[in-house]
Amino acid sequence: MSTLAPFAALRPPAELAKRVAAPPYDVVSTKEARALVATGDSSYLLVSRPEVGLPDGVDEHADAVYAEGPRALARLLADGALVADPAPSLYLYAQTMGAHRQLGVVGCVSVDEYDRDVIKKHEKTRRNKEDDRARHIDELGAHDEPVFLTYRADREIDALVARVTASPASPDFVTADGVRHEVWVVPPDARDALVAAFAARVPALYVADGHHRSAAASRVHARRRGTAGEHGVFLAVLFPDDQLQILAYNRLVRDSRGRSAAELRAALEVGFELAPAASPAPPRAGTFGLYLGGVWLLATPREAPPDDPVGALDCSVCQTKILSAVFGIDDPRVDDRVDFVGGIRGAAELERRVRDEGWSLAIHLYPTSVAQLLAVSDAGQLMPPKSTWFEPKLRSGLFVHRFQ
């Protein structure tokens, strides 16, 4: 069963939360992060992307960058932009994006359960990204960006959460992207009941977003094993599976052979039936939108996908039948002939990048379902890279777990 541990969070006062809260470190570039910090917003990027507090042009993996993170955190604390809660608590965090709302429990989860696959994964991590986050967390002495976890929805937990959210949230603010963020501190009786409910009723947790952060937390704990501090747990927000929203994770492909649009279409027709598309987004699972030669096509595979949790995924079919078969891209994690574009950016961004950057093909996928994610994880298998794009993204800086 699943361990959920209260912790004494570092949090911004309600009146500063909107200015402190920042996008996750890995969805903004250094240039974008500098621009956000310059406006006085998203100041937590000074901690999560410490290079923005140093002169322009610094290597984001330089020793000075990792050393700057703890200094930036200390400044936020000294300025009162972050304040330590007096006692260990759990928290609730709601995000509302248009008609979609998701409400999760914020607490710490067990590194040991992560290592034993009680917290299940669906994605293979990249060593260089693990190295970066492990060093950042270790030098910071804190888990500063929560991992996005999910679990199979449970009515008892839903009822406990509903009792807490009957009171007003604080903070409660809307960010520039139109997403509303609400936070509640869980009172002690409900806190203890939630801890007990997760221990008794939730057999497994699943990493939805944040594989590199959770893997990094495991590495930091292994490095510090036997030393003082709360490094045996890491920060997470736990959402019930029936509240998640997954958008498509689309692809851009560059043809190294310089084939024309007509030649690429002929190569694609070996594995797909192609027809004019009514819209860029594919209408159902098992079909693909292809932007080729300035027009959108609907691609339907000529053969049914394999009957297994991973092989049946649209992103797996895309990898096998398009990236590998047509373009010779066998490892998309390291091949610069493919790039990935989150579905939140829309089809217009795919068209723009094909036009302005010379990509040969854009591929609009149908979103992976939550049920598929759970099935792959339960089978102990891994999805291809960039299979899921969760939206909205968790804001960083609203909760920090300092373990030393």
Give the domain extent around 37. 10-241+391-402
DSSP 89: B
Q: Tell me, yes or no, whether 139 and 273 share the same domain.
A: no
- At 152-182, the pLDDT tens digits run 999 999 999 999 999 999 999 999 999 999 9
Q: Tell me, yes or no, whether 226 and 283 share the same domain.
A: no
CA distance 219 to 335: 26
Residue 309 lies in a domain: yes
For residue 90, pLDDT over 90 is answered with: yes
Residue 4 lies in a domain: no
- At 107-119, the pLDDT tens digits run 999 999 999 999 9
Q: Tell me, yes or no, whether 45 and 103 share the same domain.
A: yes
DSSP characters for 278-344?
SSSS-SSTT-EEEEETTEEEEEEESSPPPSSTTTTSHHHHHIIIIIIHHH----TTT-TTEEEEEGG
- CB within 8 Å of 336: residues ≥ 6 apart: 254
**pLDDT at residue number 41:** 78
Q: Tell me, yes or no, whether 301 and 341 share the same domain.
A: yes
Give the type of residue at 52.
V
Q: Tell me, yes or no, whether 202 and 348 share the same domain.
A: no
Q: Tell me, yes or no, whether 80 and 127 share the same domain.
A: yes
DSSP 320: I
Give the type of residue at 53.
G
Neighbour tally for 227: CB within 10 Å: 9
- At 36-52, the pLDDT tens digits run 999 887 799 999 999 99
Residue 288 lies in a domain: yes
Give, for 234, the enclosing helix (H) or strand (E). Answer: strand 233-240
Coil vs helix vs strand at 5: strand
Q: Tell me, yes or no, whether 164 and 227 share the same domain.
A: yes
Provide the pLDDT confidence category of residue 125 given band limits of 50, 70 and 90.
Answer: confident
Residue 379 lies in a domain: no
Q: Tell me, yes or no, whether 139 and 278 share the same domain.
A: no
**pLDDT at residue number 184:** 98
Q: Tell me, yes or no, whether 58 and 150 share the same domain.
A: yes
**Cα end-to-end distance, the chain, whole Å:** 27
CA distance 183 to 171: 6
- At 239-271, the pLDDT tens digits run 999 999 999 999 999 999 999 999 999 999 999
Residue 280 lies in a domain: yes
